Structure 1
Amino acid sequence: MRFRRFGKTNLPFSVFSLGTMRYLASEENAVQTVARAIELGINHLETARGYGNSEQFLGKALTLLSLPRHQLYLTSKIAPTPDRDAMARCIDQSLNMLGVNYLDCLAIHGLNTEEHLAWVEAANGCMKAVWQAVDEGRIRHVGFSTHAPLGVILRAIATDQFEFVNLHYYFFNQRNRAAIELAESKDLGVFIISPADKGGMLHTPSPVLRHLCQPFTPLELTYRFLLSDPRVTTLSVGAANPGELDALLPVLDRTEPLTSDEAAALARLQSQQRTALGTDACRQCYQCLPCPEGINIPEVLRLRNLAVAYEMTSFGQYRYGMFENAGHWFPGNKADRCTNCGDCLPRCPENLDIPQLLKDTHDRLSGPPRRRLWE
């Protein structure tokens, strides 16, 4: 296992972190999953106040495994709130559930909207409780996790209140590149959220994707894309059981620059997208927004890009089904809300027939509604 400095926290994090949202089948499963992570060299364990029994199970694992507290780094996440007292209560609850007297890191969980940003900037808001806990030594470092639009992320980083950021950034979704760059300039630790799952459901890739990535697996290649970037500190692995951690074995110590073969495989992926999509490719410039019907046009068309280019239809259905069902975690209406108003058309530099592409995406990806796992 390799380790990297987590920005200005100066904590030496393993390049993989155990995310504990999915190990909730049982307390025994949770303990075994934590034990396997530690065995592989993972020293950062990440949970959240809102993840069901996750904090409780992690606290039990720390006790049963007699894990040395000073050799492990614990992060929990608490949702933003305008209520200072509510935040103080949540901090107490997290510490009690985990059975510890301090958190190495606390992340404001889901700083996703302008309203959330206003709450953390308010003089007497939730951050006052956070800073009090820092003064008392119960929290060592403070950051935020986010599913926000890029502009909100950049403004949150620019508040200079935070030492790290948890965000989405993958080979198949590089929209947040500017946030990675700003985080580096301010020496923030960078934690990548769920690259295996949110990065494309890469545990179960399509045959087309497997073929294009050879001789690597798609999961191995996406891990290497991220680990070869020195601005990235650690990648979340949301293992549901101990066995899922075995996928890390080929890349635990692979933080060097991309090899020529790896770079060639990534170039093949880019070439395939250009060829498969032709003049229908959405370049993710976001100039089509805002949509009068509240459709998240760029994200809808990104999912279409992936389905057409790489047959990542299952992933597209999984994410598309969350529109209108996940609130600020995955905002936007489904593509069938399009009224063909044409408002987006003159703003598209690619001259895409956006209404037709929206219809095509809905026909390809529409299915049962989905919610976030921990809800």
Structure 2
Amino acid sequence: MQYRRFGRTNLPYSIFSLGTMRCLGSPQVMQQTVNRAIELGINHIETARGYGRSEEFLGMALRSMNRDQIFLTTKLPPTLDAAQTDQWIDESLQRLQIDSIDCLAIHGLNTWEHLDWVENCSIKAIKNAIAEGRVRHVGFSTHGSLELILAAIETSLFEFVNLHYSFFFQRNAPAIGLAHEKDMGVFIISPADKAGMLHTPPQTLIDLCAPFSPLEFNYRFLLNDSRITTLSFGAANPEELAFPDLDQDLSIERAIDRLNARKAIDPDQCSQCFACLPCPESIHIPEVLRLRNLATAYDMTQFGEYRYRMFENAGHWFPGNKANRCTDCGDCLPRCPEKLDIPKLLRETHDRLNGKPGRRLWQD
């Protein structure tokens, strides 16, 4: 296992972190999973108040372990009530059975309102907890827009950021750059599942990423960037804790060339410039068309269905209406540099990807 400095926290994190959102089978399963993670060299475990009984199970597992071996992150939602934040910190400490939280993240800083709450309320309680030694470092986790993430980083309130980024979603690249300038730790959320369901890739993607599996390809893409500290690995049990051998310095450039060439074949590929927003019908046009891009270029239709069905079902975690809300108003058309027939592509994408509604595993 390799280790990297987590920004100005100066904590030496393993390049993979154990995320415990899915590790909820029983306290015994949590214990076994944590033990296996430590055997593999993982020294950072992430949980959250909103992850069911994760904090409780993790607290039980930690009783038999040397805390010097492990760094812990837990997450709390943003709130207007500083006293509520303070109470939640104490409750997390009690469930985890520890005296101090290494890293506390605002969980789901996804809207401008959330940022306002943190700046004016939550951060006061967190700073007080840091002064008292109940918390060591503070950061934020986000599914929000790039503009919001950049604004949150610019506040200089935070020492680390948890965000989405992968080869298949590079919109947040400027946020990684700014976080690095601010000497913040960078934690990548779900580089396997939400990056493209890379545990179960389509054959087209397997062929394009060869000789690497799509999952190893994405891991290498991310970890080739020294600004990124650690990648989340959300195992439900110890059997799922298996990593590719990343010690060999192998180039992924040929795979990148093949992937880019395949994407270029489709004349209707969206460049993800975001100039089409805002949409009068609150359709997240770039995200809809990104899912179309992946389905048409790499046959990632199953992933597209999984994500598309979350529109209108996951609140601020996955905002935007479905593409069938398009009224053909044409507002987006003159702003598209590719001159795409956006209404037509929206209808086609809806027909291709719509199905049974989806939702987040945990809602806050």
For each residue in 1:180-204, what CA deviation from the matched residue of structure 2 results, as whole angstroms up to 9, or x when unmatched?
0000001000000010011100000
| 1:136 aligned partner, one-letter code | E
Structure 1 position 193 matched with structure 2 position 189: yes
SS of residue in 2 equivalent to 1:170? coil
SS of residue in 1 equivalent to 2:147? helix
Correspondences of 1:86-235 after superposition (within 5 Å): 86-122=84-120, 125-235=121-231
Alignment counterpart, residue 351 of structure 1, candidates 309, 316, 339: 339
CA contact (8 A) 2:146 2:171 kept: yes
Displacement, 1:374?
A: 1.9
* Paired position in structure 2 for 1:250: 245
Partners of 1:358 and 1:27 lie apart in 2 by 45
Displacement, 1:26?
A: 2.0
| 2:245 aligned partner, one-letter code | P
SS of residue in 2 equivalent to 1:141? strand
Structure 1 position 295 matched with structure 2 position 279: no
Alignment counterpart, residue 267 of structure 1, candidates 245, 257, 281: 257
* Paired position in structure 2 for 1:371: 359
Runs of 4+ in 1 over 4 A off after TM superposition: none
For each residue in 1:179-234, what CA deviation from the matched residue of structure 2 results, as whole angstroms up to 9, or x when unmatched?
00000001000000010011100000001111111111000000000011000000
| 2:17 aligned partner, one-letter code | S
- Answer with 54-63 or 165-174: which moved more: 54-63
SS of residue in 2 equivalent to 1:306? helix
Consecutive unaligned residues in structure 1, runs of 5 or more: none
| 1:371 aligned partner, one-letter code | R
Displacement, 1:351?
A: 0.1
Displacement, 1:250?
A: 1.8
Partners of 2:337 and 2:284 lie apart in 1 by 17
Displacement, 1:121?
A: 1.4
Partners of 2:54 and 2:261 lie apart in 1 by 42
Correspondences of 1:281-292 after superposition (within 5 Å): 281-292=269-280
Consecutive unaligned residues in structure 2, runs of 5 or more: none
Displacement, 1:249?
A: 3.8
CA contact (8 A) 2:216 2:244 kept: no
* Paired position in structure 2 for 1:10: 10
Partners of 1:328 and 1:341 lie apart in 2 by 25
**Taking every aligned residue pair, what percent have the same amino acid on both sides?**
65
TM (norm. structure 1) is 0.95
Correspondences of 1:314-325 after superposition (within 5 Å): 314-325=302-313
Partners of 2:156 and 2:122 lie apart in 1 by 16
RMSD: 0.9
TM (norm. structure 2) is 0.98
Partners of 1:249 and 1:280 lie apart in 2 by 35
* Paired position in structure 1 for 2:318: 330
Partners of 1:53 and 1:129 lie apart in 2 by 24
* Paired position in structure 2 for 1:236: 232
For each residue in 1:238-282, what CA deviation from the matched residue of structure 2 results, as whole angstroms up to 9, or x when unmatched?
111111111x1423x45x5xx34x11011111111111x2x2010
Q: How many residues align?
A: 363
Correspondences of 1:52-91 after superposition (within 5 Å): 52-63=52-63, 66-91=64-89
SS of residue in 1 equivalent to 2:102? strand
Partners of 1:352 and 1:226 lie apart in 2 by 31
Structure 1 position 24 matched with structure 2 position 49: no
Displacement, 1:310?
A: 0.8
Partners of 2:214 and 2:33 lie apart in 1 by 23
| 1:323 aligned partner, one-letter code | F
Partners of 1:25 and 1:365 lie apart in 2 by 31
SS of residue in 1 equivalent to 2:241? helix
